[in-house]
Amino acid sequence: MRINHNIQALNAYRNLSQTMASTSKSLEKLSSGLRINRAADDAAGLAISEKMRSQIRGLGMAERNALDAVSLIQTAEGALNETHSILQRMRELSIQAANGTLEDGDREAIQTEIDQLTFELDRIADTTQFNQKKLFSGEQNGRAFAKISSNQVAYAGNGEWNGQVTAEPTSPAKVDIEFDSNLGKVSKANIEAKTFTINGKRYEIDLTDGTSKGIVNGNIAVNVTGWKDPASNDTDIIGNMNLLLNALEKAVVDNDSDFTVTKSLASDIGNNTDGNIKNAILSLATKKPMSAKDVDNMQGTNENVSTNVSGVTFKNPYQANVTTNKLGADPNAILANSFTIEFSAMPKAGDSLFIDGLTINFDTPASAYANGTATLDVTGKDISTLLGEIVAVLDDATKDSNNPVAALSPVYSFNGTMLTLGTNKTDNGSTNGLEIELRDQSFDSGKSEDLNLNFQIGANSSETLNISLSIMDAARLGIGFNADGTKAAVGVNAEKGVNVSTEAAASAAIDQLDEAIRLVSEQRSKLGAYQNRLEHTVTNLQTANENLTAAESRIRDLDMALEMTNFTRSNILNQAGQAMLAQANQLPQGILQLLQ
């Protein structure tokens, strides 16, 4: 008998420890529901299970990718559905225009609608997006880094857009006919048969002495009665001036419906003999607003004014004390013409933007504004930051004493990716508007045919689906044209639609629109095929996910009934072990009997 070593207690303790460890493992498995909680549980099973988990999660994400692809295709197909509707309407209009019962004016109205529908085709192609990805504008290098919203700016080729933005005139064309005191002193012999030429009409002075005439010598008569000859004082001079003014006013009002006429009579501003007389003014204004270019485009030389009457001058009311030989136009409209430059990407080194006389280069190193030029570094910037810098350059330019952006509206701003500019300068036929030029050196209209998209529709790297979306603007459909009638480049917005201005042109347009409808149908058919394939892909991914999950479950999940049996066994052994350990610890007590 020994008291230093209780072998029986040690044996019972060892067995109890093993049983408790087994019980702990059973509890862990039963509480987690997993057969494998750590690599020690089943090293090979864990490796297989983790590979399966990668596939299962990959299949789940691939399913979401495929559903996103279906959503993208549905977005694209929905836009093309409206494109189809527009083309069908255009074809309907072309058939109408081809009918011989229509006049040219009727076809002009049809052409207006055709043009607007063409612009809408381009707008749909430009703005249809999914997750900010433009679907029908082709690859990025087939689009310029920015798009100018004004139809006065057009594509000039070689990645360059330019034009002159002008405001619509809001003021009429005017001319002031000013009569000074010298006119009132002219004798009857020297005033008789003198002429005025206004708006292509010739007016001839006729001293009727009471007999009114409509036409004299083939000219419109200006009937003047009571001319003082000689004019002996200021009253006589003023009387003669106002007689002619009133007679000319009546002749213009009676014979020219283009003008509204106002007048300011001559008056004495001194005494009756000092010759200090306020000039008489007859003001003519066109009934519709006109720009300088509109004036120049008046029929023939109708904008010209002239007279051989001594003491009469024509003046431009928009230019102080400036004599003229034609109608004058206000160079500034009340309302500015605003437009936007929308940046879809950051410009690259070598690209540039010209605003009136200001040159903004995108390159490195950057240089501050000086003498009408600035260079902006685009490295590491976002579009909003760049536009803020462009506005800062415009601020510097407008403050320059040699302001290079004189035609720029005082209000200009940016918001997000859009730079808003404007001008209140009307068109004078040369450089009166806001000159705009955008240069994108990497632009290639030939690369804008297709947008290629890769969809990850499987759990592994090689399992992808590639689809291509053709550019769907008016030019690509063959019905977008430049202002001169030439076909617009693909990727560049059209300036006018298919020509239906004549019966023959309208008949030819039907065939062009048939081809456009075919191209859209072809694209929609491709999209429908892609969508049907993806729907099968989604079903297959769901099935694979389900089966692989079941397989992984058989490896990793716990058989709860079996493990509960093991737990019950271990629990009984724990109780027995604890009892036997207690008994073994009592055995050395017997040695005390020997010591009594």
What is the number of other CB atoms lying within 10 angstroms of the CB of residue 450? 14
CA distance 224 to 222: 6
pLDDT of residue 194: 94
Q: Model's pTM, two decimal places?
A: 0.60
What is the number of other CB atoms lying within 10 angstroms of the CB of residue 506? 24
Say which residues have a Cβ less than 8 Å from residue 418's Cβ, sequence separation at least 6. 340, 341, 342, 343, 387
Q: How confident is the model at residue 118 (pLDDT cuts 50, 70, 90)?
A: very high
Which pLDDT tens digit goes with each residue over 5-20? 778 888 888 888 888 8
pLDDT of residue 326: 92
pLDDT of residue 493: 83
pLDDT over 70 at 539, yes or no: yes
CA distance 332 to 321: 18
Which pLDDT tens digit goes with each residue over 23-37? 878 877 787 777 877
pLDDT of residue 196: 96
pLDDT over 70 at 128, yes or no: yes
pLDDT of residue 436: 95
Determine the average pLDDT of the residues in 554-574: 83
CA distance 475 to 480: 4
49 or 239, higher pLDDT: 239
Determine the average pLDDT of the residues in 257-268: 94
Which of these, 532, 558, 447, lies nearest to 137 by C-alpha position? 447
CA distance 532 to 535: 5
Q: Where are the beta strands (DSSP E) in 390-545?
A: 413-415, 418-425, 434-439, 450-456, 464-470
pLDDT over 90 at 126, yes or no: no
List the structure tokens of 409. 């509206």
Q: How confident is the model at residue 132 (pLDDT cuts 50, 70, 90)?
A: confident
pLDDT over 80 at 238, yes or no: yes
Which residue shows structure tokens 């420890």? 17
Asked whether 493 and 511 are in contact (CB, 8 A), the reply is no
CA dihedral 271, 277, 280, 281 (to 10 degrees): -130
pLDDT over 70 at 1, yes or no: no
Q: At what angle do helices 7-32 and 560-586 cross, to 10 degrees?
A: 160
* End-to-end Cα separation, the chain, in angstroms: 16
Interior angle at CA 264, CA 318 and CA 308, nearest 5: 75
Asked whether 539 and 533 are in contact (CB, 8 A), the reply is no
pLDDT over 80 at 239, yes or no: yes
Helix (H, G, I), strand (E, B) or coil at 297: coil
Q: How confident is the model at residue 159 (pLDDT cuts 50, 70, 90)?
A: confident
Determine the average pLDDT of the residues in 96-123: 92
pLDDT over 70 at 447, yes or no: no
CA distance 12 to 577: 6
Which of these ranges, 197-201, 240-244, 446-450, 571-575, has the smallest mean pLDDT? 446-450
What is the number of other CB atoms lying within 10 angstroms of the CB of residue 366? 14
CA distance 122 to 136: 10
Which pLDDT tens digit goes with each residue over 454-512? 899 988 888 899 888 888 889 889 999 988 888 887 777 888 999 999 999 999 999 99
pLDDT of residue 274: 85
Determine the average pLDDT of the residues in 289-314: 90
**Top-ranked range on mean pLDDT: pick from 206-215, 502-511, 568-577:** 502-511
Interior angle at CA 195, CA 189 and CA 198, nearest 5: 160
pLDDT over 90 at 520, yes or no: yes
Q: How confident is the model at residue 356 (pLDDT cuts 50, 70, 90)?
A: very high
Percent share of the chain, pLDDT over 70: 98
Q: Please, what is the average pLDDT of the chain?
A: 89
Query: H helices within 410-502, ranges in order?
Result: none
Determine the average pLDDT of the residues in 102-106: 89
Q: How confident is the model at residue 164 (pLDDT cuts 50, 70, 90)?
A: very high
Q: Counting Cβ atoms within 10 Å, is residue 324 exposed (0-12), middle (13-18) or buried (19+)?
A: middle
Q: At what angle do helices 104-127 and 43-97 cross, to 10 degrees?
A: 170
Which of these, 160, 71, 87, lies nearest to 478 by C-alpha position? 87
Q: How confident is the model at residue 449 (pLDDT cuts 50, 70, 90)?
A: low
Which of these, 482, 504, 502, lies nearest to 492 by C-alpha position? 482
Whether the upstream peptide bond of residue 588 has omega within 30° of 0, thus cis, is no
Q: For residue 426, what is the DSSP state?
A: P
Which pLDDT tens digit goes with each residue over 71-86? 999 999 999 999 999 9
pLDDT of residue 192: 92
What is the number of other CB atoms lying within 10 angstroms of the CB of residue 272? 13
Whether the upstream peptide bond of residue 365 has omega within 30° of 0, thus cis, is yes
Asked whether 235 and 273 are in contact (CB, 8 A), the reply is no
